[in-house]
Amino acid sequence: TTYSPRSSSVSPRSRPPYPAPPPSASDGAASPPIQPSPAASASTTAATLHSSAASAEVFPSSASNLPWAPPTPGRLSLQFKSHVRVLGCRHGLVLILDQTPQLLVWDPVTCQQHLLAYSPEFDPDNSLINGAVLRSAAGAGDVHFQVVLVASEYEKKLLACVYSSETGVWGTLFSTPMPSGNSLHTRVCLEHAVLVGDSLYWILAGTTLFNLLEFDLKTESLAVIPLPADKSYDAGLNSPEGRFTVMRAEGGGLGLLSVSGFTAQLWKRKTDFDDVASWGMGRTVELDELLSMDSKDYLDIEGYAEDNNLVFLWTGRSLFTVKFEPLQCKKLFDTNNRRCYYPFETVYAAGT
């Protein structure tokens, strides 16, 4: 089912080993901005997003100092020599963090890659780091991008910093205090960021409390947003009961999806006439019949695709995509393994 003129593919979180990098004399200089490949037309982009496509051969760029090897021909993949983390996908780009520590921005369709060091303001040994990538203008022809890193310094404050490929440098460091009433061990969760409007959102977790960390790209401001009361004190993100994700609300704006049992609850953040923001319950959707679930099944949210506004739900036996506006579902495949999926979405020309 096609929900919009965008294509989505999913890749599970993995930790592949990879061979030693080729010898190089890297001086730490920033690589050039991502450029569209002449061989990658709009129709090719749409056809090569699935890992089974024979034409999806990904090779490293001409820079010899990149610490990864060519993938197996016919697969949209990169092989790494140590543990890496996928921080998220957006606008046809993938953001990857390795243990160097360095960041890789990868365009799997054009096969272009961009390697950059951390912001000097971030200490990977004393901070819990997450991040997001996005194009400077979310269009198929834009060659520049931004990387937003966020971190929680132990017992101190929350940080954010933006890298621009146009300037090749990290910008100003932004900070905000830890949320009040929370434990000293607040961290930015590993779940990928969600872009809603002009803001990126991450889930913040403490010992008992959960909040949202918001970075407004337009005003370049960092803030903590409380969750609905019964979600803020959720027992844990790894429990099949009470899982939630940030999403675009019905009608637009910041929303939240939570699942408990076979029930999904849709929330929306609203602002009243006095400019006071609060959460309001939207609607409740029973998913057992829609997903053909039985009493032994349960629901886990495994990912969220921003552009198509759909969630990936795992029942313990199968992985589904569910779109709530209008209500639609699609079974992707059967699996007994619980994984975190990173939906890869990119723009292509309709009808090609």
Q: 198 lies in a domain?
A: no
The winner for highest mean pLDDT among 48-62, 105-119, 241-255 is: 105-119
Q: 194 lies in a domain?
A: no
pLDDT digits (tens, 9 = 90+) for 175-200: 998 877 655 577 888 889 999 999 99
The predicted pLDDT at position 11 comes to 45
Q: 154 lies in a domain?
A: yes
Give the mean pLDDT of 105-133: 86
Q: 165 lies in a domain?
A: yes
Q: 174 lies in a domain?
A: yes
The predicted pLDDT at position 142 comes to 66
- In a shared domain, residues 268 and 171: no
The predicted pLDDT at position 15 comes to 31
pLDDT digits (tens, 9 = 90+) for 74-85: 457 777 777 888
* Model confidence band, residue 324 (pLDDT cutoffs 50, 70, 90): very high
Q: 164 lies in a domain?
A: yes
Q: What is the mean pLDDT of the chain?
A: 74
pLDDT digits (tens, 9 = 90+) for 196-231: 999 999 998 876 678 899 999 999 999 999 888 776
pLDDT digits (tens, 9 = 90+) for 270-305: 988 888 999 999 899 999 989 988 888 888 899 899
The predicted pLDDT at position 184 comes to 59
Last residue of a domain, one of 135, 151, 182: 182
Last residue of a domain, one of 117, 147, 182: 182
Q: In three state form, how does the secondary structure of the chain look?
A: CCCCCEEEEEEECCCCCCCCCCCCCCCCCCCCCCCCCCCCCHHHHHHCCCCCCCCCCCCCCCCCCCCCECCCCCCCCCECCCCCEEEEEECCEEEEECCCCEEEEEECCCCEEEEEECCCCCCCCCEEEEEEEEECCCCCCCCCEEEEEEEEECCCEEEEEEEECCCCEECCCEEEECCCCCCCCCEECCCCCEEECCEEEEEEECCCCEEEEEEECCCCEEEEEECCHHHHCCCCCCCCCCEEEEEECCCCCEEEEEEECCEEEEEEEEECCCCCEEEEEEEEEECCCCCCCCCCCCCEEEEEECCCCEEEEECCCEEEEEEECCEEEEEEEECCCCCCEEEEEEECCCCC
Domain that holds residue 107: 72-182
How many domains is the chain partitioned into structurally?
Answer: 2
CB 141 within 8 A of CB 347: no
